[in-house]
Amino acid sequence: MKAADDGSVRSVLRAFDLLALFTEHRRTWAVKDLTAASGLAKTTVLRLVATCEQRGLLWTRPDGRITVGPGMLRWAHLANTAWQLPEPVRQVLRELARECRETVNVYVRSTSVLVCVAQQEGPLAIRHVGRVGDELPLGFGAAGRVLNGTVGSGGTVGTGGTVGTGGAAVSHDEPEPGASSVAAPVHDGDGRLLAALAITGPSSRFGPGEVAAFTEALTAASMRISQIGLATRAE
């Protein structure tokens, strides 16, 4: 197995990149299309598919198309259990969504991306729509700036973003035009950054007055979660 320059195993990275091509919008692939999309040689794709099939991560259907394998069910259940937040934390999310009437998300950093690990939808019909498991580039939006460590004591933190009180970040037109968010850091007992707690919704509802109110509520909620802790029953 050849190592990449960053110390990772190249064949493993290729396998993961191949698996990442399977999405809810593209659940099956023909070998030729998978080869074209991956940019790898056909022989390499066939070897990777065969290896993943041995562990149940991929499955070749009778019609020859490749899809995710049944072994993924075990990993999905494990991930859902491991990232299930404690009920007191989920109660804080429900209260924050009810108070601010916007969708509340918890994001964590995973190498070069941020991942949504929990969500409480807001009560309004027009609201931010996302899902647990969604990924965004690191530094993207208010939560991304919090997790990227670009939130300081004040000033500009990037295009469309500013820093609020208590280390909270504000962004507009991210993750898409017309969307705004406010995020605050969640720490562990030793003060280490664990996650970002964010409120997201239409920019029309994120004027200066609303942002100030959101920031105050969000900062208080993030402090409560920091005190409760994000430890799960899976530990």
Q: How many Å is the Cα radius of gyration of the chain?
A: 20
Q: State phi, psi for 121 to the nearest 5 degrees.
A: -70, 150
% of the chain at pLDDT higher than 70: 87
Q: Tens digit of pLDDT for each residue in 28-37?
A: 999 999 999 9
Whether 154 shows a pLDDT value over 60: the answer reads: no
pLDDT tier at 109, thresholds 50, 70, 90 = very high
Please spell the DSSP secondary structure of 146-199, one letter per residue.
Answer: HHTT---SSSEEETTEEE-GGG-EEEES-SSTTEEEEEEEEE-TTS-EEEEEEE
Q: For 58-62, 77-81, 180-184, which range has the lowest pLDDT when averaged over its residues?
A: 77-81
Q: pTM, whole model, 2 decimals?
A: 0.75
Average pLDDT over residues 106-114: 89
To the nearest whole number, what is the mean pLDDT of the chain?
86
Which structural domains are found in the chain, ordered by start?
10-72 (1.10.10.10), 83-228 (3.30.450.40)
